[in-house]
Amino acid sequence: MRKLITNLSQLVLPISVMMLLIIINLIKGVDYFSVTVVNGAFYGNIPNILFGASELVILSIGMTLVTAASQGQDISVGVSATISSAVFVLFVLHAGEVTLLVIVAGFLLSCVVGLLLGAFNGTLVSVFEVQPMVASLILYTGGRSIAFMIDGKLSPILANDISNQIGTVIPGLPIQTPIILTVVFIVLVAILFRTTNLRLYVETVGINPNAARLNGINPKKIIFLTFLLMGVCTAVAGFIAVNKAGRHDSVNLLKNIMMDAILAVAIGGNSLGGGKFNITGSIIGAYTIEMLNRTLLRLEVEPAMIKVFKAVFIIILMVVASPVVRVFVSKTLERVRAGRLTGQFKGSSPKDSLISIANSTGKEE
């Protein structure tokens, strides 16, 4: 019960921010939740948010694990997704006739590439003990050039019906395909946590690596594993992104998404210093960021100014969620509570006051 309460308390921040954005959008127009059906598929503000945040949700899951275990962040996630998706496109374009089997094979190949990129970062962090942000800076700096070389210095187009359906909708299904793929991925992650001790090991390593080692957990292996999982997340995100776009743009594909992924982890109530984590919070945080972007557009903020408004919003959010503010609020509430008790028992005998305090404490428990 106590664990459930703790998990729910971590979701207060992302849910509060999302509710605030919903209120702002409802003030702008009461038709915010309206949904239309076009060619048998749902479209509207909410479906568009779910659609647009697909890649960010998947990357935020991997970023949460990396942050929790390594006490740092992987800033190369967008670049890794670009490289793995470049391999996918290259494979599909050279396979001749494009069939579902070819698409699946290309996707699995891109996952292998993602694993290799994750292993590269993971080796630097776990074996050579390089700070995660510095280790991933290598791929962040040169990764897009690698993708550019894989592309053959072009922006190849995925001109086939299967890729188009993966990036948009499958005929007969009312929900856009990227949304379905994201839900499937979340379910698989949930099954992974249910059937393994991964959460326990990651949190233990993130909180105290030395204590984890004394309990038979190898911190290096766990950190390395989280980077491998991050590699898979980048491959899946890259696969969705390139099919959405219908072509591979090694320069702009998922550009700067790593900052949103880190922010999603923070908004989700997770510590960027590692330790305990809440995947649900990160997922809500990712959708919140997408809602924020679309809210600013709906408020007719100029595209060039969106980053400024977003930065101000993030600063306010981070200050409100900071440990200093939390401690201040906690102490203030304690003083108010103490003041109420003092006023409640003023004029009573010491014995009666102690009995009343004990009874009130028992009721609270």
What's the CATH number where 192 sits?
1.10.3470
160 lies in the same domain as 260: yes
312 lies in the same domain as 330: no
Whole-angstrom Cα distance, residue 174 to residue 37? Answer: 8
309 lies in the same domain as 332: no
Q: pLDDT at position 258, please?
A: 94
Query: To 10 degrees, what angle do helices 219-245 and 77-93 make?
Result: 60
304 lies in the same domain as 347: no
Whole-angstrom Cα distance, residue 365 to residue 359? Answer: 10
**Which residue intervals of the chain are DSSP H helices?**
2-10, 12-28, 45-52, 54-70, 77-93, 100-126, 132-150, 161-167, 177-195, 198-207, 209-214, 219-245, 257-267, 279-298, 303-320, 323-344, 350-364
Q: pLDDT at position 363, please?
A: 47
260 lies in the same domain as 280: yes
Strands 35-38 and 41-44: antiparallel
A 10 A CB-CB count for 299 gives 12
Pick the closest to residue 224 from 124, 140, 137 (CA basis).
124
Please give the structure tokens belonging to residue 95.
Answer: 């396979």
Residue given tokens 């945080």 in the structure block: 285
Q: pLDDT at position 239, please?
A: 98
Please give the structure tokens belonging to residue 234.
Answer: 């980048």
Whole-angstrom Cα distance, residue 290 to residue 295? Answer: 8
335 lies in the same domain as 226: no
282 lies in the same domain as 168: yes
Domain that holds residue 339: 326-364
288 lies in the same domain as 261: yes
31 lies in the same domain as 102: yes
Name the DSSP letter for residue 33: G
Number of domains in the chain: 2
> In degrees, to the nearest 5, what angle opens at C-alpha 104 toward C-alphas 101 and 106?
110
Cα diameter, the chain: 91
232 lies in the same domain as 359: no
266 lies in the same domain as 345: no
> In degrees, to the nearest 5, what angle opens at C-alpha 172 toward C-alphas 171 and 175?
90
Beta-carbon contacts of residue 257 (< 8 Å; ≥ 6 apart): 55, 56, 59, 77, 78, 81, 237
Mean pLDDT in order along the chain per 10 residues (365 residues): 60 86 91 88 94 97 97 96 97 93 97 98 97 96 94 88 95 94 98 96 96 95 98 98 96 93 90 91 94 90 82 77 78 83 59 52 48
Please give the structure tokens belonging to residue 75.
Answer: 């800033």
Beta-carbon contacts of residue 37 (< 8 Å; ≥ 6 apart): 43, 174
Identify residue 158 by its one-letter amino acid code. L
Task: Say whether pTM exceeds 0.85.
Answer: yes
Cα 215 to Cα 199, 201, 335: the distances in Å are 15, 10, 41
pLDDT tens, residue by residue, 38-84? 888 899 999 999 999 999 999 999 999 999 999 999 999 999 999 99
Whole-angstrom Cα distance, residue 229 to residue 74? Answer: 12
Residues facing 35 on adjacent strands: 44
236 lies in the same domain as 352: no
